[in-house]
Amino acid sequence: MMFSNILTFASLLLVQLMESSYSHFGLFGKIVYHMSCINELYKPSNIGGFQMDNSNKKGNVVNAAKISTRSFITSALIIFVIMMISGALTKILPSGEYQRQTIGDRTIVVENSYQQVEKPNYPVWRWFTAPIEVLWSSDAVLVITIILFILIVSGSIYVLNKSHVIEYIINKVVRRYSNRKMLLLSIVILVFMLLGALMGIFEEMVPLVPIMIAFAISLGWDDLTGLGMSLLATGFGFSAAMANPFSIGVAQKIAEVPLFSGVGLRIIIFVTTYIVMLIFMTTYVRKHQKQVTTQPTQIGNSEIENSVDVSTAAKILISIIGAMFVLILISGLTGFMSGLMLPVVGVLFLLSGILCGIVVEKSFKKVLLDLFFGIKDALPGVVLILMATSVKLIISNGKIIDTILYDASSLISKSGPVAATFLIYLLFFIMDLFVSSASAKAFLMMPIIIPLADMIGVTRQTAVQAFVFGDGFTNLLYPTSAVLLITLGIAGVSYLKWFKFVWKVELVMFLLSLLYLFIAVKINYGPI
């Protein structure tokens, strides 16, 4: 019933967005300052009906995907330190390898096959060239796909911003629901969490983040609130998954546990996580929200308000986003095109930007120029992505990934059930720094962990849950997470600012994860 109500609410939102009878506030072009982090250009101004702060203007538009110099340098330094630590580990730890075998379309580690190998000739200077080398590494296709995705989304957002489509849509929702803000916040968080928990949606929600940030600011909140109710909510849903095919599904398949079994405890985990998330966000919002007051419209907002072209473009955008969600839902429930959803979402968002831009601007050449400006401003984010993905390449070239796994498994095998479960969790927690993909990490580590779990008296279901926790929450914490970097880059929020925002709630969830793993051990969490 709850899910049905959520879908009804979502449908109502879409219907309301289709209507064209509400006034236009002219928010978005000014709102997106909060995504650019350029404090020096921050000046108070009345904007389109709300008392807001003005932003840096380029024409009448600020690119939501533009990363400030300060944000870029902060994030780059943090990732660079991690790169150097990873490189140092290749010199300190012995090199070793497990044997691997291919079963169907997956490669898994052969149990008890670890042996030390001769340390490869991996010079220090290649630590610095690793961000370029990833472009022809074994992960090249994935890395290039991610880069193209962020460029396409960034360019499309710029076009949609320039054509005033997003501000038109946001205005409608705000006018309709501004008096029920906390209820709206709780429902939006729940919807995003369910997307992550039931269908493993994470990367696919990136294009919606700037929209949610603008939406949050229009309600008197800030950029972190927008990130919290979209990125953080989706990530926490992914981490507290009930039927996530990319974490639970893959791990259970490797562990030979009935698919999506053990859902009883996972529902409790999800509900608890939602409560924690809701308390965290409502507390933050009440502390940081600004008073939003209605003022006479200015700077030509009535033109956009009554524009048939903008209204038509808004309907096009809603239709394409609706189609995108349908495809995502089908993919999550059936596995259809699961490996292609990221590029598909990118192409659909590009299509929405071009079509909306043409409808409003009446010039394909001008739309392409705007697209170029949006892509150009996102290029620093590409550098961060290359640096982040190079961490895995460095430790792979140094042949120490398997050594870390072997040493950790040796320690785990000597521990009692509770301590071993905690160590398994911490191992996944740490390894997510180097390998962020849930399915890749499952194929790499679960063949090693499952025999250990059997040996020490920990159920396979408990081991799977430790994997889900260790893989999930760190995706929102580590600067090596591509999705996190993409989202922060598009939002113009520095990693340090994000870390200050989430570390307390991440700590709470870490402690709760330990509690639930303790319970899982004590109840012999089944079926196996």
Model confidence at 471: pLDDT above 90: no
User: Residue 337 has what pLDDT?
Assistant: 67
Cis ω for the linkage preceding 44 (within 30 of 0): no
pLDDT for the residue 466: 94
Task: Say if residues 233 and 275 touch (Cβ distance below 8 Å).
Answer: no
**Which DSSP category does 106 fall into?**
E
pLDDT > 90? residue 522: yes
What's the sign of the alpha-carbon dihedral 31, 37, 38, 43? positive
Q: Give whole-number Cα distances, 404 to 231, 275, 419, 523, in Å.
A: 30, 36, 18, 30
User: Which residues neighbour 196 within 8 Å (Cβ) at sequence distance 6 or greater?
Assistant: 202, 233, 234, 235, 236, 237, 238, 239, 241, 244
Three-state secondary structure call for residue 400:
coil
> How many residues in total does the chain contain?
528
How sure is the predictor about 100, in pLDDT bands with cuts at 50, 70 and 90? confident
pLDDT digits (tens, 9 = 90+) for 198-211: 877 787 778 788 88
The crossing angle, in degrees rounded to 10, of helices 417-431 and 460-472 is 30
Find tokens 């996944």 and name the residue: 428
Written as six digits, the tokens of 380 are: 């620093």
Asked if residue 5 has pLDDT above 60, the reply is no
Alpha carbon distance 319, 317 (integer Å):
5
Asked if pLDDT for residue 4 goes beyond 70, the answer is: no
Q: Which of 372, 419, 392 is nearest to 521 (CA)?
A: 419
Mean pLDDT of 335-348: 74
| Structural tokens at position 206 | 């990136």
Q: pLDDT tens, 220-242?
A: 888 899 999 999 999 999 999 88
The model carries a pTM of: 0.73
Mean pLDDT of 420-424: 94
Task: Work out the average pLDDT over 84-106.
Answer: 85
Pull the structure tokens for residue 316. 């096009």
276 pLDDT higher than 70: yes
> Quick one: pLDDT at residue 361?
83
Q: In DSSP terms, which residues pair with 43 in a beta bridge?
A: 54
3-state helix, strand, coil in the chain (%, to 5): 75, 5, 25
Helices (H), 362-398: 364-377, 379-397
Q: Residues 46-55: what's their mean pLDDT?
A: 30
Mean local confidence (pLDDT), 26-40: 32
Predicted pLDDT at 270: 95
Using left for φ > 0, alpha for ψ between -120 and 50, and beta otherwise, residue 111 falls in beta
